[in-house]
A and B are shown apart, each in its own frame.
Chain A
Amino acid sequence: MAATEVLGPRARERIGRLDRIWEERPGLVGWLTTVDHKRIGLLYFFTTLAFFGAGGVEALLMRTQLSSPDGHVLGPDRYDQVMTMHGVTMIFLFVIPMTTGAFGNYLVPLMLGARDMAFPRLNALSYWLFLGSGCLMYAGLFLNMGPDAGWFNYVPLALKRYDPGLNIDFYALGLIFNSISSTVAAANFVVTIFKLRAPGMSLNRMPLFVFAMLAVSLSLLIALPSLTVDLVFLELQRRLGFHFFDVGHGGSALLWQHLFWFFGHPEVYIIVLPAFGIATSIIPTFAKHRMIAFPLVALAELLVAFIGFGVWAHHMFATGIPTVTLVFFAAASMMVVIPSTIQIYAWTVTVMMGRPEFKAPLLFIGGFIAFFVVGGLSGIMFAAIPFDQATTDTYFVVAHFHFIIFGAAVFPILGGMYYWFPKVTGRLYHEPVAKASFWLTFAGTALTFFPMHIVGLLGMPRRVYTYQRGLGWDAYNLSETIGAFILTAGLLLIFGNLLWSRFRGPPAGPDPFFGGTLEWATSSPPPHYNFAVIPTVTSPYPNWDRADREEDARKLEAGELVLEEGHETPASTVRDGYLDEVLEMPSESWWPLTLGLLITVIFVMLLLAHFVIAGIFGALAVLALGGWHLQEPAEA
């Protein structure tokens, strides 16, 4: 949108009216009652960043312990808790809420040309539930009762007999709690993507980042219930004496693993798919070339998510399940190579076809592709059953999944932080420092995780809290620890750069990188209502269609598609994106926070086994839901 001073009087009047309609209360109350997807995105961002810091400290504690043989920074009990919480934090409290909650919330409505998410209050609720679940699990750690059976929490180790404290109950209830938040967020994304696209944005013109978020959200909806059921079984067995997992009473220990990995493998793609989406946003901008094979990449993103549901037993190759099952899952795992390779070729060829400008965001994507190829290749090795059986539970596995989860998932997140920083703050980051921070992070990552392949092949088991001298692992472990500290320095440099630039960076303007998607078509930071005129879309890169965007300025003057009557956003048809109706959206509300608090109390009471009080708060939550729905949108 052009700067306000060149607008005519009528346009300025319209913008003033939109400002008044969409403005939220100032100060703390405004943040507590907000339903603005951008503010909720920022709340998610800073909260997940805090959890990232906690997970990082846990990683450094472990690496310090393992830097030399017979380390004693942490005792075995503490080490188990720190290791488990590192995994739980990075997956459930950092990567997923960062990519869906922060990036997705902030960007999806902007990229779609919408003014908010489909369910703004539900969006706020998902944040408060996420915050509550994270705090609940960390309360366990601070009380020295943190989850301590690894992030996949295998039975029988996690049963009452071997783990009698509240540790596992913090894990189980915390994750059930967390999955409520993820489920409502995922449903919200899908409805937003299906219904709130700008007029003209048929599915084939939808940004690839949004395709990735669609794939992630559908995967979350389908995968999470399996984890929830598994955790409910575990709690029923631990608390009320049911029998699901003990063979002596007709249960099965493998049942836990089947249900867990039916969720757990799609989870891996849920972690990495948003990274693909970020890559497909950054590459066209800096290569100055549209993504080649656009429909294939979109389909590949959905296909990765789909195949992810057919490979779960490859986490169980060493459990003694029948060979025919193993072969099926090995073959399915090999299939993941196809959509992944389509995307790798599309990314690299797009860069080669364009005139790439290697600014920091694109460098991070380069690092991402490099790490993804290495992690992908070790992943293919695991699909070979004998190799998997030889290396399972060694550091080779740790190396593999850190290349994917840190190298392939977090690098695009870091690149995306630089890329969208000007949009969110209105200021530019410091480019030379950003480039330096990339090289530092890249070197640190490689030095931390590559030697893990070697110690893994040398036989070092994963999840050990210390190891003996003279096994030939010492030098590798020391270099991993040095790498971890270099990596930390790189991350601190990134956040230092962003913090400094937030206050001292030069003004960015609405579109500093000439991005192709709609978030660059509005001012930086975007106004509460996102777009003064709802943009009309005629291609997958609508911000490169200059004539269309100039038309927006004329429409603002004429008052077309401004929707200045109320808290409104347009809805379009699911497939073709024809303008369908105008929806009245809810505005700020105390109900999400109220309900979030009530549900938090329910889970705390369940943890303390005060079931009656939990029931009372359950009834209060039902009443709160009633109150939530008493306020109805105005009739058209």
Chain B
Amino acid sequence: MSEHALPRRTPRPRPVAHPNGWWGMALFLASETVLFGALLGTYWYLRFKAVHWPPLGTPEPKVVLPLILTAILVATSVPMQAALRAAREGRLGATRLALAVALAVQATYFGLQIHLFLDDLTKFSPGGHAYGSIYFTLLGAHHAHVAVGLLLDAWFLLRLSTGLTRYRLGGLWATTIFWHFVNALAVLVVLTQLSPAL
């Protein structure tokens, strides 16, 4: 609160400032963290109040396949980051290639997860017991986020076909941190989901 004049020294050279879009996404993800916190918190809250979890007659969740799928999804953080780095260096071809690789893997993950989701729906329903309700809601929320990420990837692949701009770079940066967030949460979601079988 000093009344000293504005510092006259020249500031040290700084790294490129985060674009507004990055900040917007970061704050949105802070909000999303609480959203998933509330979902995960509800899962554990209901679980600690239950005698049988899952309730008698409901099959225990699968362990191996969801874990493998999650590992594959988490691995797509690497091509996403590679796409961002290539875009920063202005290498358009490499950006699009890395993004396409990430999109292909993530889309495969999404397809398999939807298959598992529908398969689970044939075995027990969200309307039977609170276990099914929070199980399907939690997974549904996660899958919805993956779907949004796929749309973002596809959008940038399309936009990058006409070249790279500062605006698109900012958007790609925001998309990359969105995927890092979704991937990190996927670990928490899958561990929670399969915890009754451990």
A residues sitting closer than 8 Å to B (CB atoms) are 118-119, 122, 183, 186-188, 190-191, 194-195, 200, 204-205, 221-226, 228-230, 232-233, 236-237, 240-244, 249-252, 255, 258-259, 262, 294-295, 536-540, 571, 573, 576, 578, 580-581, 583, 622, 626, 629, 632-633, 635-636
Contact = CB atoms under 8 A, between A and B. Distances in A.
B123 interface: no
Contact of A190 (B11, B27, B50, B133): B27
A229 B27 contact: no
B23 A190 contact: yes
A228 B34 CA distance: 10
A111 B171 CA distance: 29
Looking at A187, A540, A571, A622, the one whose CB has the most chain B CB atoms below 10 A away is: A187
B64 interface: no
A201 to B, nearest CB: 10
Contact of A236 (B17, B35, B137): B137
Interface residues of B, number: 45
Nearest to A122: B24
- 9 closest A-B pairs by beta carbon, nearest first, are A250-B130, A225-B35, A242-B133, A241-B127, A229-B38, A225-B34, A187-B27, A632-B167, A191-B23
B87 to A, nearest CB: 15
Given A187-B24, A255-B42, A294-B1, A244 B134 contact: yes
B32 A187 contact: no
B137 A233 contact: yes
B101 interface: no
Interface in B1-52: 1, 3-7, 11, 14, 17, 20, 23-24, 27-28, 30-32, 34-35, 37-39, 42, 45-46, 49-50
A10 B47 CA distance: 72
30 contacts: A119-B24, A187-B31, A188-B24, A190-B27, A194-B23, A195-B17, A221-B31, A223-B34, A225-B38, A230-B38, A236-B126, A240-B126, A240-B127, A241-B127, A242-B126, A242-B133, A243-B128, A244-B42, A244-B46, A250-B50, A255-B46, A258-B45, A294-B1, A536-B6, A538-B5, A578-B11, A580-B14, A633-B166, A635-B165, A635-B166
A595 B182 CA distance: 25
Nearest to A585: B20
B129 interface: yes
B117 interface: no
A527 to B, nearest CB: 23
Given A118-B24, A244-B130, A294-B1, A259 B38 contact: yes
Contacts of A295: 1
B142 to A, nearest CB: 14
B23 A251 contact: no
Contacts of B42: 229, 233, 244, 255, 259
A568 B3 CA distance: 29
B173 interface: no
Contact of B128 (A240, A249, A626, A633): A249
B21 to A, nearest CB: 9
A195 B35 contact: no
A583 B34 CA distance: 31
Contacts of A226: 34, 38
Contacts of B39: 229
A571 B38 contact: no
Contact of A243 (B20, B130, B166): B130
Nearest to B51: A250
Contacts of A242: 126-127, 132-133, 137
A249 B34 contact: no
A284 B156 CA distance: 50
Given A233-B137, A243-B129, A252 B24 contact: no
A205 B14 CA distance: 21
B112 interface: no
Contact of B45 (A224, A255, A580): A255
A259 B166 CA distance: 41
Contacts of A536: 6
A195 B171 CA distance: 17
Contacts of A538: 3-6
A112 to B, nearest CB: 14
B179 interface: no
A571 B17 contact: yes
B166 A626 contact: no
Given A633-B167, A636-B166, A583 B20 contact: yes
A222 B49 CA distance: 26
Given A221-B30, A233-B42, A573 B130 contact: no
B32 A191 contact: no
B20 A195 contact: yes
Contacts of B45: 252, 255, 258
A225 B50 CA distance: 25
B55 interface: yes
Contacts of A221: 27, 30-31, 34
A581 B28 CA distance: 24
A84 B110 CA distance: 42
Contact of A250 (B1, B3, B46): B46
B1 A251 contact: no
B151 interface: yes
A118 B18 CA distance: 13
Interface in B129-156: 129-134, 137, 151, 155
Contact of A225 (B7, B23, B32, B151): B32
Nearest to B158: A626
A269 to B, nearest CB: 16
Contacts of A294: 1
Nearest to B131: A250
Nearest to A576: B11
Nearest to A252: B49
Nearest to B47: A250
A157 B109 CA distance: 41
